[in-house]
Amino acid sequence: MAATAVVFAIAVLVHSVICGAAAGTTAATKRNFTIPSSPSTKNKGPVTYVFGDSMSDVGNNNYFQMSLAKSNYPWYGIDYPSGEATGRFTNGKTIGDYMAEKFGVPPPPPFLSLSLYGKDVLGGVNFASGGAGILNETGVYFVQYLSFDEQITCFETVKKAMVAKIGKEAAEAVVNAALFQIGLGSNDYINNFLQPFMADGTTYTHDQFVRLLITTLDRQLKATTHSTRLYGLGARKVAFNGLAPMGCIPSQRVRSTDGQCLREVNEYALQFNAAAKKLLDGMNARLPGAQMTLADTYSVVMELIDHPEKHGFTTAHTSCCNVDTEVGGLCLPNTRPCRDRSAFVFWDAYHTSDAANKVIADRLWADMMTMSRGASGTPPPPPRAAAPGPAMAPAPSPSWSN
C-alpha cells in the first residue's frame, strides 16, 4: 500500500508540472497559432471544439513523453486512411472524425500539435486527452494527460489568441456560433469509482458520487464568481455525450461470472445521464442563449450490443484484439487482431471499432437531422436529448476508458 501511495504521489507531481506547462498562460504566448485576420467562411459546417477522453483523442497524448494512455503504435490506425497510428484509440476513425465528414469539415487538430504546425484554430480544435475525466483525480495513474479542467484552460488560451488577433467582438461571434462536443464521464467510473485502489469508490456512495460529478460539471460548464469556464468563455451550443452502457464493454464483462453485461454499472450510467440531462436543461433555462443537450449514446450503443447483426456485425461481447482484461486491455503490438475487423463492435477492451464508430456517427447524425428546424444552410443543433431515465435495458459515449 505504501508503494502504491508513492507511485500516485509521483504521478500527481509529474502530471501537475507537465499539464501546467502545456496549458498555462505563460506557454500561451509561445504557441504558434495561425489566426486569420477575419473568420473563415469556406467551411460548410460549424467550427467545432472537442473535449473528451480517449474516445475523442486524436493525438494529444502523443505529445506527453510519460503518458501511460497512448495508442501511437500498431495495430492502432491500421484502417485509418494513412494506415498508421495517429494517437486515436481505435483501428481507424473516431466518431468525431465521421461527424466532421458529415459537416463537411476536416477533423479538428489536436491542441498540443498547434505549437509545432501552426494550424488555424478558427477551424476548430480538439482538446480531448486519453485518461481524462470530469474529476481532476480521475486518470491520475496515467501520469500525463489533460483533465477536463485543463482542456478548458487550453481553450481559454486559444480564445485569448483569437481576441488578440481578430478582436473581442469577432472572437466572441466565432465562439458563440461554434459547436462544443464533450464526451466525458466514463473514465470517472472505469478508472476511478470502480477501481478498488482509487479513493472515490470507498469514500462515496454512488448517489454521492453522481452529485460530485454533476456539481463539478456544473462549475466546468458555466462561469462562476471564482472562475471563467465554458459558458463564460462564450460556449453556447454544447452537445454532451451521455454515458454508453459501460457494463457491456469487454473490460467490464470479464468482471462478471458469466460474461454478461454488468447490470449495476449500466444502471450507474443511466443515473448519471438522467442527472446530466437535468443539469443541462436547467442551464438552458437560466443562461441566455444556452443550447445544451445530452446526446443519447446509451441507446445507440446498446442497440449495437443487443442486435449487432442489424448493422453487419457478428461480435459484440468481446474485442477484436482479444484483450478483454480489466486493467490494460489495449491492442498492443504483440497481440493479433481478428481477421475481419469490420465484424466486431469493440476494437479493444474499452473502445469501439472504426466500423462501430461509423454506425454510431450515422445514428447521431440522423438524430440531429430529425431535430433540425433551421433554414437551409444553417448547421443543425446538437444531437437529440436522451430520455431523463430510460428503463434498464436487458442484457463505451462512447467515451469509455483511457
Residue 353: active-site member: no
Q: Where is 315: in which H helix or E strand?
A: strand 315-319
Residues 6+ apart with CB under 8 A from 299: 386, 390
Strand partners, 126: 50, 110
The one catalytic residue among 53, 54, 56, 71: 54
Choose among 131, 179, 104: nearest CA to 11. Answer: 131
Which is nearest to 124 in space by CA: 71, 53, 51, 219? 51
**Which positions ≥6 away from 303 have C-beta within 8 Å?**
310
Cα-Cα-Cα-Cα dihedral sign, residues 145, 190, 95, 381: negative
Angle at 177 between CA 174 and CA 181, to 5 degrees: 105
Distances (CA, A) of 111 to 115, 116, 148, 149: 8, 10, 13, 14
Residue ranges of the alpha helices (H) in 76-126? 95-103, 114-117
What is the rounded distance in angstroms from the CA atom of residue 291 to the CA atom of residue 34?
Answer: 29
- Indicate if 15 belongs to the active site: no
Active-site entry in 71, 113, 188, 351: 351
What are the start-end ranges of the E strands in 100-244? Answer: 124-126, 179-183, 237-241
Is omega for the bond preceding 75 within 30 degrees of 0, making it cis?
A: yes
Q: Cell numbers of 307, please?
A: 442486435
Look up residue 173 and give its amino acid: A
- Is 317 a catalytic site residue? no
Cell of 339: 481477421
**Contact present, 358 and 208 (Cβ < 8 Å):** no
Q: In the numeric block, which cell numbers belong to residue 162?
A: 483569437
For 399, other C-beta atoms within 10 Å of its C-beta total 30
User: CB-based contacts of 378: which residues, under 8 Å, 6+ apart?
Assistant: 372
Q: Which of 53, 296, 348, 354 is flagged as catalytic? A: 348
How far apart CA 89 and CA 357 sit, in angstroms, is 11
Identify the helix (H) or strand (E) that includes residue 44: none
Q: Which residues are catalytic?
A: 54, 348, 351
